[in-house]
Every structure is written in C-alpha cells, then in structure tokens.
Amino acid sequence: MVDVPDGLKVTAAWAWRLLVVAAALAGFSWLLAEFSGVTVPLAIALLLVALLDPLVRRLRALGTPPVLASLMALLALVLVIVGIFVMIGTQVASQSSSLADQTLKGVEQLMGWLSSGPLHLDPAQIDGWIDQLTTWVSNSRADIASYLGRVGGQLGHFLAGTAIALVAAFFFGYDGQRMWQSFTGWLPEEARAKTYEAGRRGWESLVSYMRATVLVSLVDALGVLLAALVLGLPLPWALFALTWIASFVPILGAVTAGFVAVVLALVTHGWVSALLMLGAVVLVMELESHFLQPILLGRAVSLHPLAVLIGLAIGATLAGIVGALLVIPTLAFSVAFVRGLDPQRFPEVRHH
C-alpha cells in the first residue's frame, strides 16, 4: 500500500472541494446569464431599494404607511432622474447651434495642428484618411442600419427591464423584510435566526455602500462641473449629470465621464483646454481614490482596494458594464453576510 504524504492528502481534499465550489459558481453564473432579462432588473431593483432605504425609513418614522412610503420614495427617484434628462435635453437644444460651430472650429484647429505641429502630417494624407472614412461609412450603410436595428431591439429590452426593476423595487421597498423572513422560514430551525441576522448585516452594508457611493459620485460630478465652468465649456450641467450617473460604476464610470469631458474640451476649445480638463479630471479621481473612497467607502464596506480592483476586472470581463456595476455591491453584501454567520468571530461594526 502506497503511503500518501499528509500534505498531499490535504491538498487533494482542498482541490476537489474548490472544484465543486467553482462548478457551483459557474452553474449559478450560467443561470443568471440565461435569465438576465429578469435577474439584472431584480439586482438593479435591490440597489434602488438600498439607495432609497434611508428615505423610506424617515418617511415611516414620520408615520407614513409602508406602502405609501415606498411609493413616495420611488416616485421621488423617478422625478429626479427625469428632471436630470430634461435638463440635459434642454441645455443641448439651447446650445446645439453654438456647439456645432465650436466643434467645427475645434476640428479645423486640430487638423491644422496635425499639419503644422510636431507630427508634421501631410495634409493630403489627412484628407486621404477622411476620404477612406467617408467611403467606409458609405459602403457600410447596410451594416450600420442592421446595427441600429439591434440597438432598437436592445432599447425595447432596456425599457422592459426598467419597468420590472421599478415594480420590483416598489415591492421590495415595503415588503422586503417579510419576504426575507418567509425565505428564512424554509431553512432548518437551527439556521433561521443566524441566517436572518446575516442577511440583515449584509443589507446594512449594502445600504451604507449606496449612500457612500452617492456622496463620492456627487463630489466627482461637482469637480467636473467646476472645471467645465472655469474653462467655459458648453453643456457644463450635462457633464455634471453624466459624471454623477456614470460614477456609480466604480473607476470605469469616472474614467468614461472624464474622457467625454476631455474630448468635449478638445473639439470646442482646443488642446490647451483639453489638457486643463484632463488635469482636473485626474485631480478629481486622485481625490476620490486617496481621500473619499478610503473614508466613505472604507467605513461602508470591509473590502480591500485590491479586492475591489480584482472584482471590477472579473465583473467587467464576465458581464461588461452591468458586471462592473453589480460586482462591488455584491461583494459588500456577501462579505457582511458571511461575517454575520459567525457574529462572535466578526463583531458587527455600525456604519455612520
């Protein structure tokens, strides 16, 4: 009989257990992806409820019935979002002509810089690239039309998902606690209280995360707005709204919004304004990563920055923007939930 070393036995035991866990996670991820038309709106609904939880609690404390409190909070959120888009549309419509003129002038300045600047590109070469782009667009009309058709179909799915998320958020808002109690009631009696408490701690962590994310996103948006106003860029409030909304996706959102602001500065005011806007965006992101996130998000969730970075990479790889949006809240809830299963080892930390 072969004498197997103890180290190999332990390694093999851990290996097959890890394989089982990996297979379970893979199967669960496959189910989520297959039913993404339902699972993603429900996940968004949970984030909305966590975002509105302080308002709902305040309304209930004032004596508002639970159903009415949930409905009022949800309507307030919808009004805010609609108001933001109306403001953006109004600003874009009022500045469309001047923005077009500024953009055309900026493009002409950029072409002149490419010709006379340090790159010394041949104007004929630049014109050749423009002609190639025009020819490609002309020859790809069928592909572009097909793509627009797919975008229209995706828009329909988006609207349907939005409706599901709003309805689910309403029910989660006023009846979520009873739903969780009903779920834990299916568990063995010895696990009910512990699981219920772990879920409560996970939910508190998620609420704290959303509250901190709102503050961080607001500071990011105010920084971009201030830079846009100082530089005299068009659509400053549109940049504010875009940055505020995009910053809910950690790191990726702020980078995307900053890129839009820099491009807008480049095409309307030239490369000097673009460099100044780039410096402002970098300053805002440094303020966020080295000051706001450690103080606000660090108190809200117990996640190491490296875990956040790896989680974002995995989430974006698996599910794109949706994955990047959901992965950090999911980690925040999961870590608090697991710790709540062993409260003596992991005492609860109250978030303020």
What are the structure tokens assigned to 103, written together? 């953009």
In this predicted structure, what is the pLDDT of residue 154? 67
Could you give the CA distance from residue 54 to residue 76 in angstroms, rounded to a whole number?
13
Query: What's the mean pLDDT in 229-240?
Result: 85
Residue with tokens 């950690």: 250
In this predicted structure, what is the pLDDT of residue 352? 47
Check residues 341 and 145 and name the one with the higher pLDDT.
Answer: 341
Could you give the CA distance from residue 204 to residue 210 in angstroms, rounded to a whole number?
10
Q: Is 350's pLDDT higher than 60? A: no
Could you give the CA distance from residue 26 to residue 18 in angstroms, rounded to a whole number?
12
Query: What's the mean pLDDT in 244-267?
Result: 81
Q: Is residue 25 classed exposed, middle or buried when 0-12, 13-18 and 19+ CB atoms within 10 A define those classes? A: exposed
Q: Is 302's pLDDT higher than 70? A: no
Alpha-carbon dihedral angle through residues 14, 15, 18, 19, given to the nearest 10 degrees:
-150
In this predicted structure, what is the pLDDT of residue 256? 83
Could you give the CA distance from residue 52 to residue 71 in angstroms, rounded to a whole number?
11
Instruction: Note the Cα 329 to chain centre separation in Å.
Output: 10
- For 116-172, what is the HEC assignment? HCCCCCCHHHHHHHHHHHHHHHHHCHHHHHHHHHHHHHHHHHHHHHHHHHHHHHHHH
232: region left, alpha or beta (phi > 0 left; psi from -120 to 50 alpha): left
Q: Is 72's pLDDT higher than 90? A: yes
Find all residues with CB under 8 Å of 293, minimum gap 6, and list them: 216, 305
Query: What's the mean pLDDT in 101-117?
Result: 61
Check residues 234 and 122 and name the one with the higher pLDDT.
Answer: 234
